[in-house]
A and B are shown apart, each in its own frame.
Chain A
Amino acid sequence: MPAGTEAAFSMRGNLLRRNLLTALLLAPATLWLVVFLVLPFVAIAIFSVGERAPEGGYQAALTFAQYANLPARATAFWNTMVLAPAGALACLLVAYPVAYYLALRAPQRWRLILLALIVIPFWTSLLMRTYAWMYILGGRGIPALLAYVGIEDLRLINTSGAVLLGIVYGYLPLMILPIYVSLERLDRRLLEASADLGATPVSTFLGVTLRLSLPGVMTGFSLVMILLLGEYLIPTLLGGGKVFFIGNALVDLFLQSRNWPFGSAIAITLVAVSVVVLIVANRISTRLSGARRVDLI
């Protein structure tokens, strides 16, 4: 056997061994994804072309009637498409100054403590924290205090304001952290250079700081927005079940009217919408970071 072939063989052996090792290492994650993501998704896809059984549930069929019926939940889709970006935007407006302060202004020794303070509320479940808001905003909370100073019968709970507050409160850390990370990595010399070249603080912020933190902003924005697309808890608890998200429509279809096929069709559509949102956000964020590279050279 020529020496070359032998070397090729052992190289192939190495490669094979390495591939095997990679496969073994990936096996648990793959298994997890197949069992808990792919299989349920396939089940939902099969349900979505079925029919509602007479007493509710699923009955095998091959029809696209469920998808044709999607306009029946147009209001819920519309509410979600308006409220998810609006909620994410409100979150962004609150989160950016906080992240800016943490990354660029806060004293070094406080930074870790402040970051911890932002993350700690996340250790309690969203349900508990939302219930807490129900009591704070309810008649025995803030309105009761305001009654002492003569403001009677003020209603805060079950308003769109309460839902917005719940959203901002619930998702704030998810917005702060990516922005903080992108601001923290910011090269301070760029800010000095900008000032040296005669830029005002405002134009430095707009032209340098904001531009360079945009990938973080986009990450936070798409993260919050995708979670909001499936949100149903906050509108139920703080909106009194009157503000109807697509998540609420899903809960009702599975738990009240038991129309699993229609619910499945909506779920598939929601996943498709989320994927589109992710792709668009990813495109924008890539283009922005691409622009940054050009600027720097």
Chain B
Amino acid sequence: MSKSYRDGLPISPEKFVDQLMRMKRGSISRRDFLGLTGLGVATAVMARELGIMPTPAYAAENLGDRMSIATWPNYHDPATFENFKAETGVAVEVNVFGSNEEMLAKLQAGGSGWSLFVPTNYTISTYKKLGIIEPLDMAKLGNFDGTKEDARFTAEGTIDGTIYAVPKNWGTTGFAVNTKKLAKPMSSWKEFWDTAMAEGDGRTMVHDYQLTTIGNALKYYGYSFNSLKQDELAKAEELLLKVKPHLFAVSSDYQPGMRAGDAWMTMCWTNDGAQLHRDIPEIAYVLGKEGGEIWTDFYAIPKDAPNKPAGYALLNYLMNPKVAVKEHLANGAPSTDARVNALLPKEVLDNPILYPAADLLKPLEFGAAATLTDPGRAELMARFKSA
């Protein structure tokens, strides 16, 4: 007699499913309780081996029951993670950061615990250099289609032909103004900084982030957003120190202040600008005509990710255009993926906050890798904050 796989199982598959369903309804006997640990193991084994459970595509690999993602404030539809949990049983813990430096610091120190994170374009080369991220295993990301991505925004995720990160969305860094409080029309970074010291006194916020705060101060004088030149940085510092006593806050989480009406004007990313304008129409999003930042945020998986299978599963889930479109509707940032754009309603594609006119986009610069690690800019930011 050939040995059946059923021999030696602690419980017959039929009885197992029956018991599991009973527990799901909330009825549990003492014996059930005592056998629970064994049952848990059996669930994992049987769901995979026997095909008797409704098997999602993910069951091919053990995903565990939790994972952690590092991302930016107000950047996801909370329903996305709920749905992911319903489909895979993996609960997602969301860690929010205000700067790329902070993410890098956590990853450099080790033991961040993240299985997926959201770095900005200009940081990826440094992560690769430090050996913090690995090439992505594209076989696990069937939902990603490189041919449908806008090449302008994806270049920095690929290093020497190897894909280390795939794009989440792109956007710009401008400023948001509450036009009821500050009625005068504004269109430049010069006006932003000047207003901060006049009508916007005590009501203006800047990012707790060297790249944009220093970069947009450099723009006041028309210098490059990425400048590392001593004399140009000295001018930017002079401006920042002059503005400092007039600020409401130095913080990258500016939505609460803007929504409560404590802050009237803030440095702002596209997605926050779109969310604020959607909920409070008098809050406008302005791109400085001198230029400033254009960016792409990517998804990458840390080399020391504690739950890589779940990291890949969530990333693949987020790359599904049907999921991504909901993310974009919630967070308000434009997509790099043509398949997603095809699903977005026309009024979103026509929204000038998301898709600014070409002449406004032209002077914008992508952040430069050197700004991330430059000690001079870091110290300048520290002097500004402690002043």
Which A residues have a C-beta under 8 Å from some C-beta of B? 52, 54-57, 72-73, 75-76, 79, 134, 138-140, 143, 155, 157-158, 240-242, 244, 248-249, 252-259
Residues of A within 8 A of B210 (CB): 256
State the CA gap A57–B108 with chains docked (Å): 7
Q: Contact string, B367-381, partner A, CB cutoff 8 A, digits 1/0?
A: 000000101001101
The segment from B20-28, B99-107, B166-174, B315-323 that touches chain A is B99-107
> Which bracket fits the contact residues of B?
35 or more
Residues of B within 8 A of A57 (CB): 108
State the CA gap A256–B250 with chains docked (Å): 14
State the CA gap A57–B251 with chains docked (Å): 24
State which of A72, A134, A242, A255 has its C-beta within 8 Å of the C-beta of B247.
Answer: A242
State the CA gap A240–B379 with chains docked (Å): 20
B189 CB–A CB distance under 8 Å? no
State which of B99, B261, B378 has its C-beta within 8 Å of the C-beta of A259.
Answer: B378
Question: Whole-angstrom distance from the CB of B206 to the nearest CB of chain A?
Answer: 10
Name 26 A/B residue pairs within 8 A (Cβ), A-sorted. A54-B373, A55-B129, A56-B104, A57-B108, A72-B379, A72-B383, A75-B387, A76-B386, A155-B202, A155-B248, A155-B262, A157-B257, A158-B248, A240-B251, A241-B208, A241-B250, A242-B250, A248-B386, A252-B381, A252-B382, A255-B101, A256-B105, A256-B378, A256-B381, A257-B378, A258-B378
Residues of A within 8 A of B262 (CB): 138-139, 143, 155, 157-158
B278 CB–A CB distance under 8 Å? no
Residues of B within 8 A of A241 (CB): 208, 249-251, 385
Residues of A within 8 A of B101 (CB): 255-258
Q: Once the chains bind, are B105 and A242 in contact (CB under 8 Å)?
A: no
Q: Contact string, B74-108, partner A, CB cutoff 8 A, digits 1/0?
A: 00000000000000000000000001011011101
Q: Once the chains bind, are A258 and B105 in contact (CB under 8 Å)?
A: yes
- Most chain B C-beta atoms within 10 Å of own C-beta, residue among A56, A140, A242, A256: A256
- Most chain A C-beta atoms within 10 Å of own C-beta, residue among B126, B205, B378: B378
Question: Whole-angstrom distance from the CB of B242 to the nearest CB of chain A?
Answer: 14
State which of A55, A134, A158, A257 has its C-beta within 8 Å of the C-beta of B379.
Answer: A257
Residues of B within 8 A of A253 (CB): 382
Residues of B within 8 A of A259 (CB): 375, 378
Q: Once the chains bind, are A138 and B260 in contact (CB under 8 Å)?
A: yes
State the CA gap A55–B107 with chains docked (Å): 12
State the CA gap A254–B104 with chains docked (Å): 10
Question: Whole-angstrom distance from the CB of A253 to the nearest CB of chain B?
Answer: 8
B130 CB–A CB distance under 8 Å? yes
B190 CB–A CB distance under 8 Å? no
Q: Contact string, B192-211, partner A, CB cutoff 8 A, digits 1/0?
A: 00000000001101001010
State the CA gap A117–B165 with chains docked (Å): 53
Minimum CB distance partner of B380 in chain A:
A257
Question: Whole-angstrom distance from the CB of B108 to the nearest CB of chain A?
Answer: 5
State the CA gap A254–B106 with chains docked (Å): 9
Q: Once the chains bind, are B381 and A257 in contact (CB under 8 Å)?
A: yes
State the CA gap A143–B106 with chains docked (Å): 38
Question: Whole-angstrom distance from the CB of B337 to the nearest CB of chain A?
Answer: 31
Q: Once the chains bind, are A258 and B381 in contact (CB under 8 Å)?
A: no
State the CA gap A76–B385 with chains docked (Å): 9
State the CA gap A79–B105 with chains docked (Å): 26
Q: Known contacts A56-B373, A257-B101; is A244 also within 8 Å of B129 by CB? A: no
Q: Once the chains bind, are B248 and A249 in contact (CB under 8 Å)?
A: no
